[in-house]
Amino acid sequence: MTLKKTITAFCFSLFTLTVFSQSKNYAEDSVIAQRLITDKLKSLEALNIVNYLYLFSDGGAIVVLYEEGEKIKAFKSYYKGERSSNFRNLKLSKKDKSNFKKCMSMPLSDTTISYTNCNDFVHSFNRIVFFVSKSQHFVKGNFTSDCLGMLDENGMNGLYCIYKRVLVM
């Protein structure tokens, strides 16, 4: 009977440690990504750029899209693993630019959104953090890749498409 309790306690401890470790990794990754994004946004701020969108995923990628005059430009970087890099210019398609414009129409007031774990049957997903700034308003939040349908249902398909076409590729 004692062996059974010991095995049960060991399994529970292992499970708890794994969950705690995963949460800690999310927090550490977020801090690293936010630091890189903050540095990049400071350089954009010096150019008086106020309309921008950034996304980063726990997969290790960061994308910043912004309006400079009449042009829409983007940077992409990787912040973990062997692919770690500085921000590099990213060529956007017409569809990517159109999706960026859709995202720029979202911030009518300051809003925070969170869509996580939308499908019970999905056991593996990516966590994506986003921030959309237009003039003096913003929409920020996070979603998991199993909630992409929820984004589409709530009129945020521009964000969904940018995630799928720009961040993941």
pLDDT tens per residue, the chain (169 residues)? 455 544 554 444 444 444 434 445 556 666 777 888 888 888 888 899 989 999 988 888 889 999 998 999 999 988 876 666 788 899 999 999 999 999 998 877 888 888 887 776 656 678 889 999 998 888 899 888 888 788 888 888 888 889 888 877 6
| Whole-number CA gyration radius for the chain | 19
Q: What is the pTM of this model?
A: 0.78
**111-115/137-144 β-pairing:** parallel
Nearest in space to 89 (alpha carbons), one of 109, 65, 111, 116? 65
